[in-house]
Amino acid sequence: MAAVLWFVTFYLTWGTFWIKISFSAAILAGLALGLPTDRHARIHFNLHALIIGLFSAVLLYLIFWTGKWVSTILFPFAANQIGGIYAKGQGTPMAAIALLLFFITGPCEEIYWRGYLQRHLMGRFGQWQGWLLATALYAGVHIWSSNFMLIGAAGVAGAFWGALYWRLKNLAPVIVSHSIWSTVIFAVFPMT
CA distance 122 to 20: 29
Considering the domain boundaries, does residue 63 fall inside one?
yes
pTM to 2 decimal places: 0.94
Considering the domain boundaries, does residue 49 fall inside one?
yes
Structural domain total, the chain:
1
- What are the b/e assignments for 160-186, b being 16+ CB within 10 Å? bbbebbbebebbbbbbbbbbbbbbbbb
pLDDT digits (tens, 9 = 90+) for 22-64: 999 999 999 999 887 656 778 999 999 999 999 999 999 999 9
For residue 119, give its domain range. Answer: 2-29+45-188
pLDDT digits (tens, 9 = 90+) for 96-118: 999 999 999 999 999 999 999 99
Considering the domain boundaries, does residue 35 fall inside one?
no
CA distance 49 to 7: 33
Neighbours of 74 (CB within 10 A): 8
| End-to-end CA gap in the chain | 31
Considering the domain boundaries, does residue 142 fall inside one?
yes
Considering the domain boundaries, does residue 61 fall inside one?
yes
Considering the domain boundaries, does residue 38 fall inside one?
no
Mean residue pLDDT across the chain: 94
